[in-house]
Each structure stands twice: as structure tokens, then as C-alpha cells.
Amino acid sequence: MDQVILAFEGEKTIARVRDILESSGAAECLVCHSAAEVKRLANKRHITVVICGYKLRDETAETLSEDLPFSCSVLVLAVQNLLDMIESENVFKLQAPVSRNDLLSSVRMLTQISRRMERFTRPRHSEEEKVLIEKAKALLMDRNGMTEEQAHRFLQKRSMDSGAKLLQTAQMVLDGTWIG
């Protein structure tokens, strides 16, 4: 059974979502109350889906999504006016109140998507190739003020979008043929 993180300010919402997901066998739920907790747990446990409200104690869901692993999807459950404020294409949105079937369908879809994306994030590079990728990330971080995770996600996304290997994309960044 997949594990998902639930991160909401209200305990009632956590209990309702947890009940739906666990009673249906869709997922085992781990509970967090802050974005910092979510980040630690998502990286430590290799979580593929985070379900949360629009805002956590320490940051918004949109900001949180930028710092999670590439294969981790974020599903925000909120009222429509809050969902309208989310601009990131990396955040999935579901209007509250949500039906049981909509929630289950969304979580199942996101776990499948995340499993497919995971193939692109598995390490497959020699030490020499890793050094080249690290240099490209460092250049992106320096030039664009990105975090290491953002630079890595940038390289992965551009690789997927262009159909090039991560190593090729990193080389293009270093050669200056890819503007980041």
C-alpha cells in the first residue's frame, strides 16, 4: 500500500481524509503539521503524494511543492478562491468539500503518475557524469538563485520536456546553449 502525507491545520480534515484513504485501502496516511515536517518525511520515506491544505504553519502548499522531490506530487484540497491563487503547474488542485470518489480517484491517479516519474529520478550516472551534473546545478544556483533541489528539478524537467538525457541537458547548461 502506498504511503501519503496528510498536512492540514485542522485535525477534522486530517481525520476525514485519513478515514477515506485508509478504509478504502488506497493509501497509508502519515500526518505532518508543517512544511518542514513534510519535506523531512517525504525525503526520508520516499513519499510520492502529499495531500494538504492551501497553507501550512510555515509556508504555502505551492512553495512546499518546489522543495519536494521531483517524483512527489502535491494535491491541495481547498475552497475554489484559494485554489485560484495557486499558479504552479506542479500542484494538483481539488475543490473542497470533496467527495469520497473524487479524492480516491485523484490519489490513485497521482500515485500512478509519481511511480512513472520515479523512473526519471533514479541514479544511473557514473562519478564523472555526477560531477558534470553537479557543476550544471551549481551554475544554475549561482546564476538564477535556485536552491539545489530547484536546480536539479529544472534539469530533470528540461530533460523530460526535450527528450534529452539529464547528462546532455547538464552539458547544454554548462556550454551556455541552454538558457536557464
- Give the pLDDT mean for 80-88: 95
- Give the pLDDT mean for 110-125: 68
Residue 20: name the closest of 110, 112, 109, 106 by CA.
106
CB 134 within 8 A of CB 144: no
Pairwise CA distance, residues 113 & 107, whole Å: 10
pLDDT of res. 84: 96
Q: Is the pLDDT of residue 179 over 60?
A: no
- Give the pLDDT mean for 148-176: 89
pLDDT of res. 165: 86
Q: Is the pLDDT of residue 123 over 60?
A: no
Q: Is the pLDDT of residue 126 over 90?
A: no
